[in-house]
Amino acid sequence: MENQLKLHIKELESAAAPLSPDRNVREAMDHVMQDFAQDFLDGLTNRKAYFSFDSMHGKLEHPEKETLDLPGILRQLDQEMLNQGLNPASGGHLGYIPGGGLYAGALGDYLAAVCNQYAGIYYSGPGAVKLENELIRWLCRLMGFPATAHGNLTSGGSIANLIAFTTAREARELKASEFHKQCIYLTSQVHHCVHKAIRICGMREARTRFVAMDDRFRMDPVDLRKKIEEDLALGFEPFIIIGSAGTTDTGAVDPLNELATVAEEYHLWFHVDAAYGGFFILAELEDELGHPLKNKFLGIERADSLAIDPHKGLFLSYGLGAVLIKDTTSQYKAHYYRAAYMQDTVQAMEELSASDLSPELTKHFRGLRLWIPLRLYGIEPFKAALEEKILLCRYFYEEIRKMGFEVGSYPDLSVCIYRYVPLQGDADAFNAALVEHVVQDGRMFVSSTTIHQQYWIRIAILSFRTHLREIDLYLEIIREYMKEKI
Ligand SMILES: *Cc1c(COP(=O)(O)O)cnc(C)c1O
């Protein structure tokens, strides 16, 4: 009986053996993977930024049905995935908010997966947790937050904003019966994930107050104050101000210092969404008036919470955002849980655990992808790349204006908007056709937005692979098109 059981166990062990390849097999797999990855990277300059596609219907289905060898799998990936739609690794990606995907960061991801360290709880993975906490502390120092502040490394800016919001709700000890009285102050340019966060954390009944903006899409502190006074007079409860350090549409930075003053005066929580723009605080450039560009970020250090995306401004692969929060106690109270099966883990509180500060328990050891590039390169190359992006955007702004395009306000950071107004015909349709032409061509990718009911084309420069060559190519594509159409 016992022997039979053992026999059965051994049979199953053999059947599961492919899951544990030996070194020779692993090295052979590595070679195939490496060849593929290196060919992909070498081919990037000639690879499109956008591939038109019809439909993914019938593709990549039933992953379990028939097995393929690794080269076969990579061929399928190449044909059915990498040649479809946007290629975010391309320096030609100028749409939405690009990032790129640093190779050294990818190695961090690979090692995180191979070693599979547990980054959720200090007791289980003290090294992983300490490493991620040190990265959070570094981000806090960068943003001028005090040493007592903490936060969390998230999968991206959306979850970072959600954690900040949930913490603000906790800090106020708000009850559901009070939600409808709470007032949230933001502009119409705030990222849509903020609205999602409000809804997900249960506060859809709260009053969202859209504060007026100046002609550069920055929140008007005078109107903010006015709206708060109005709400107080009506018996509502001003709750939170959400500023942006770089909006997605136009890259505008709200007057953070003035917003912080209003927040302090009226005892509101002040949150800054710096998902796109936060790392530009590193840039040592001047703005168009000759003031240090850094001044735009003054007051960011006065925020109660802040969202920032290393998978944008530090060019890492998708999957790394961060939230920084000063009121660690409220963050903890909103997110911790003690389960019986985790009773061993409660002891060591020398370091805070991510599982007590976010919705996640088991989590990806996502900090390694940031730690490795920082250890390898230091901060200087990042700073240089960020400054390069700003100057490229200014260069583009001047060049496109020379071509007769209408432009939005001078770019605060590395996003700007522009449109061509033809003498005859519908301007919106003309610009939409231009974007369609660029996207169909595929060498570059741009996206558009609607501002004041008008169609505007955006350029967002943030990939570490976008250089003068790419911007000149984009200008050339537009020039050729205009020659034909005008
Ligand atoms: C990208 C972005 C977000 C959302 O971040 P994800 O990482 O995409 O979840 C939020 N706010 C701003 C300003 C952004 O640019």
Domain ranges across the chain: 109-377, 380-485
Q: At a CB cut-off of 8 Å and minimum separation 6, what does 306 contact? A: 143, 145, 164, 245, 271, 272, 273, 274, 278, 300, 323, 324, 325
Please determine, for residue 1, whether its predicted confidence score (pLDDT) is greater than 70.
no
Phi, psi of 43 (to 5 degrees): -85, -5
Q: Per-residue pLDDT for 343 more than 80?
A: no
- For the cut 60, the answer to whether the pLDDT of residue 135 exceeds it is yes
Q: Ligand 1, atom 6: nearest CA belongs to which residue?
A: 157
pLDDT at 68 over 80: yes
Q: What is the mean pLDDT of the chain?
A: 96
Measured by CA distance, the residue closest to atom 3 of ligand 1 is 157
Question: 465 CA distance to ligand 1 centroid (A)?
Answer: 20
Domain 109-377 falls under CATH 3.40.640.10: yes
380-485 has CATH 3.40.50.2300 classification: no
Q: For 72-122, what is each residue's pLDDT tens digit?
A: 999 999 999 999 999 999 999 999 999 999 999 999 999 999 999 999 999
Residue 222 has pLDDT above 90, yes or no: yes
Side chain identity, residue 54: D
For position 486, what pLDDT does the model report? 83
Give the distance from CA 343 to its chain's centroid. 35
- In whole angstroms, give the CA distance from residue 107 to residue 109: 5
User: For 366-399, what is each residue's pLDDT tens digit?
Assistant: 999 999 999 999 999 999 999 999 999 999 999 9
Task: Give the whole-angstrom CA distance, residue 295 versus residue 107.
Answer: 35
User: 110 CA distance to ligand 1 centroid (A)?
Assistant: 24
**Atom 5 (ligand 1): residue with closest C-alpha?**
157
Mean pLDDT of 211-222: 97
Q: Taking CB atoms and a 6 Å cutoff, what residues make up the pocket around ligand 1?
A: 97, 156-158, 191, 193, 244, 248, 273, 275-276, 309, 321
Kindly report, residue by residue over 267-308, the tens digit of the pLDDT. Answer: 999 999 999 999 999 999 999 999 999 999 999 999 999 999
For the cut 70, the answer to whether the pLDDT of residue 128 exceeds it is: yes
Q: What is the DSSP string of 267-317?
A: T-EEEEEETTTGGGGG---B-TTSSBGGGGGTTGGG-SEEEE-HHHHT-PP
| Cα–Cα distance for residue pair 397/302, rounded to 1 Å | 32
User: How is the chain split among helix, strand and coil, in percent rounded to 5?
Assistant: 50, 15, 35
Structure tokens at 51: 């591939």
User: pLDDT value at position 345?
Assistant: 62
Cα–Cα distances (Å) from 261 to 70, 227, 239, 251, 269, in that order, read: 58, 15, 15, 22, 11
Contact status, residue 308 vs residue 143, Cβ threshold 8 Å: yes
Share of the chain above pLDDT 70, in %: 98
Q: Say what the pLDDT of residue 216 is.
A: 95
- Give the global pTM: 0.96
SS3 211: coil
| Residues 11-32 pLDDT 10s | 999 999 999 999 999 999 999 9
Chain mean position to CA 204: 24
Mean pLDDT of 346-358: 83
Structure tokens at 482: 């205009």
How far away, in angstroms, is 260 Cα from ligand 1 center?
A: 21
Q: How confident is the model at residue 2 (pLDDT cuts 50, 70, 90)?
A: confident
The alpha carbon of 378 and the centre of ligand 1 are apart by a number of angstroms equal to 25
Position 466, amino acid:
T
Q: How far is the CA of 321 from the centre of ligand 1 (A)?
A: 9
**Structure confidence at residue 340 (pLDDT):** 73
Q: Is the pLDDT of residue 341 over 80?
A: no
Beta-ladder partners of 158 = none
- Side-chain-side CA neighbours of 170 within 13 Å: the count stands at 20
Task: Give the atom of ligand 1 at the shortest distance from the alpha carbon of 311.
Answer: 7
Q: What is the pLDDT of residues 235-274, one digit of tens each?
A: 999 999 999 999 999 999 999 999 999 999 999 999 999 9
How many A from CA of 129 to the centre of ligand 1? Answer: 24
Q: Give 339's pLDDT tier (boundaries 50, 70, 90).
A: confident
Contact indicator for 261, 225 with CB cutoff of 8 Å: no
Residue 191 CA: which ligand 1 atom is closest?
11
- pLDDT at 346 exceeding the cut of 70: no
pLDDT of residue 433 exceeding 60: yes
Q: How many CB atoms lie within 10 A of CB 256?
A: 25
Q: Measured in angstroms, how far is the CA atom of residue 216 from the centroid of ligand 1?
A: 20
Which amino acid is located at 443 in the chain?
R
Looking at residue 318, what is its pLDDT? 97
Model pLDDT, residue 344: 67
Q: How many residues does the chain have?
A: 486
Return the bridge partners of 157, or none.
none
Of the pLDDT bands very low, low, confident and very high (cuts 50, 70, 90), residue 338 is confident
Ligand 1 atom showing the smallest separation from residue 309 Cα: 7
Cα 272 to chain centroid, rounded:
14
Residue 468 pLDDT class (50, 70, 90 cuts): very high
Name the band, by pLDDT with cuts 50, 70 and 90, for residue 48.
very high
